Amino acid sequence: MSDESSMTQMVDFSISGMTCASCVRRVEKVIKKVEGIDEVSVNLTLEQARVGLHDPKLLQQKIGEIETAVTNAGYKATWINPEQKLEDHSESDQNKDFWQWVIAGAFSLPLVISMIMDMVHPGWMLPGWIQFALATPVQFWLGRHFYVAGFRAVKAGAGNMDLLVALGSSAAWILSTVLLINYYFSPTTHMEPHLYYESSSLIITFILFGHWLEKRARHKAASSIRALQALRPDTVCKLVNDEEVIVSSDVMMVGDFVVVRPGERIPCDGIVSEGESAVDESMLTGEAVPVEKVKGDGVTGGSLNANGRLVIQVEKTGKETRLASIVQLVENAQASKAPIQKLVDRISAVFVPIVIIVALITFFGWWANGYLVEGLLHSAAVLVIACPCALGLATPTALATGCGAAARSGILIRDAEALERAAHIQVVGFDKTGTLTQGKLSVVLVVPAKDFNELQVLKWTASLSLSSEHPLAKALLHKAQEENLSLITPESFRVIKEQGRGISGLIDGIPYLFGNQKMLESFGLAANLLPMDAQGATLSWLVRYHNNQYELLGGVAFEDHLREGAKKAIAELQAKQVEAVILTGDNAQAAQKVADAVGIHEFYANLSPEDKQTYIVKLGQKNGQKRSVAMVGDGINDAPALAAADLGIAIGEGTDVAAEVAGVVLMRNHPGLVAATIDIAQKTRKRIKEGLFWAFFYNIIGIPLAVFGLLSPAVAGGAMALSSVCVVMNALRLLRWKAHI
């Protein structure tokens, strides 16, 4: 990526007035015309647009230009300030839609009743002027939105759902009004003609009802973000000169001390400086069991303090917190577009013009055969039944719901493309340490070479480890603390990559290296110090460069334990016909031990970060066939493999580097979430396919019926509204999903 493109800043806008996939495409088109815009993605379900600005310095200027461009296109755009909580106007919008539907229903009900009564007892139809009085407010007052939005679409050279509704309902109203005027002013007409006001009114009423149901469902689909945002308290209790002062959470700064009482949410990421309590982190990690926190433990903003008073020193606030990063990931996933949605958008771009052409052909076809009135009604039915609401809602609603359900179980999916890739995974490569195992190693054996003793080897290895965050380093430091050793901070510390895996540094001016078997062999040294009882342990070696040669000083054996549920997690993957493989920098004996314990049949040991990347590529090709591969890891050494895989999955307490390159981040250190990720991805993909099927099914069946006069405009309006509701409700079934681990 070039330097220029790397400057792109993502900005979010709330978009109101969209009703279908054609609206989405129209909004994207007008925003792209604004100079300095790199990319645009509009989401109908969330009613939001995500815009990439080429030059962040022009933020305020471009915000105004975008809002103006969208307004001129017939919609309304409002910049979403990331520093503020997103205001939720959906409830008031739903209430407005509800009452519009109720009023429209009240006007339409007498028309429907009289139509039914007239079918049973001819002559019971309401007088024409009463029908006109009831239908006209529905058509032009409650249905005015369709005319305004449809006119703007035509003015912009585009078509949308509103245009189809306006044309279809107007055809029935105009026909009825012409017949009514002709009856009252023509001296030759003595019998009041059959009018079609109930059709025009019911079209508007049904679609208003559909809009209300859609908004309710879309509100549920986007609820995960609002739930996460609600975890951040508006005020905090800050310690100022040992006094507790209530202040806004916005003024909280790094280094401050805040008090969190039982039942309150923790407002920041920080360290417990005083007190003990159980903290409920379920909304962030999906883990239902509260975690005990004592002095020195880290806490995460948004988690709930259960039963004790805590004093917390602030480490991160605002956009820097873990909660903010989670919200950002969920927003990115819900706002992004899956490849299948891009195809749907292209179809929608030509769908409305084609429908209008079919409606015209229908009208002229019936008129040519002497059926002018029928031609108007049947063409109106074509326009109404073909509204592409369901087509535009199928994919984004399922994506928003699926990503939200995953987030509640501690699975953060970066974007829609990652979700789609997860649904096709055939092979999963697992790092061993910290992924299938706990990563909390302990030193079980220190064996010195001749002329050295155990404490010397432990002191040198622990001294090197002072500058490392690796689990092996933590185990060595813990052991050195138990032995009360005085350690020396190394100089020129670095991580060894080119000769396998390890660390190096200067102690008292002499180079020391501590690493795995591959590093040792690269110096031409033999690893024959550790006895057979260390087989299956993680082995590392200490080497010194002295008198112009490398010499082996000793070896250290570490012991790790399997993560709870690791064996079950592998079994669940295998039940899904997904192959599991271990890729580790550890020795073959340690890898074999873990593989046997969890039921994995294939493993590769003594791998460098580059080797892992190479093996991920190889796993993607088997017997000349391309396979979709995921990599699960938690460390910097896993980052190249995570990036090379079709899907990178960073697990639990992994490093920021691993999380940055991964398409999925698991908030818990539980390998069972890997199978759960694939499961929710497959279920979401299934809901998308079902939604698109029903959207196309309604049109494929409905349009021919309307063309041949087998579908009235009123029934078409009901069917169109029903199709949208069916698609959205089907997607909302994902709300019941949760990871079973």
Instruction: Tell me the catalytic residues.
Output: 431
Question: Locate tokens 């495409």: which residue?
Answer: 25
Measured CA to CA, the distance from residue 209 to residue 473 in angstroms comes to: 63
Measured CA to CA, the distance from residue 598 to residue 383 in angstroms comes to: 59
What are residue 525's phi and psi, to 5 degrees?
Answer: -105, 150
Measured CA to CA, the distance from residue 395 to residue 347 in angstroms comes to: 14
Instruction: Classify residue 422 as exposed, middle or buried by CB count within 10 Å of its CB (0-12, 13-18, 19+).
Output: buried
| Structure-block tokens of residue 282 | 């379920």
What are residue 238's phi and psi, to 5 degrees?
Answer: -100, 140
> Is the C-alpha dihedral spanning 505, 511, 515, 519 positive or negative?
positive
H helix intervals, 386-453: 389-408, 416-422
β-strand 664-666 against 647-651: which pairing, if any?
Answer: parallel
> Is the C-alpha dihedral spanning 454, 457, 462, 465 positive or negative?
negative
For residue 628, give the DSSP letter: -
Measured CA to CA, the distance from residue 553 to residue 515 in angstroms comes to: 12
**Beta-bridge mates of residue 627:** none
Contact (CB, 8 A) for 160 and 23: yes
| Structure-block tokens of residue 531 | 């006895």
Contact (CB, 8 A) for 490 and 473: no
Non-local CB neighbours of 241 within 8 Å, separated by 6+ positions: none
Measured CA to CA, the distance from residue 707 to residue 342 in angstroms comes to: 29
| Structure-block tokens of residue 261 | 């009482």
Measured CA to CA, the distance from residue 295 to residue 274 in angstroms comes to: 6
Q: What is the CA 713 to chain-centroid distance, rounded?
A: 39
DSSP string, 324-366: HHHHHHHHHHHHS--HHHHHHHHHHHHHHHHHHHHHHHHHHHH
Measured CA to CA, the distance from residue 40 to residue 52 in angstroms comes to: 6
Measured CA to CA, the distance from residue 44 to residue 23 in angstroms comes to: 8
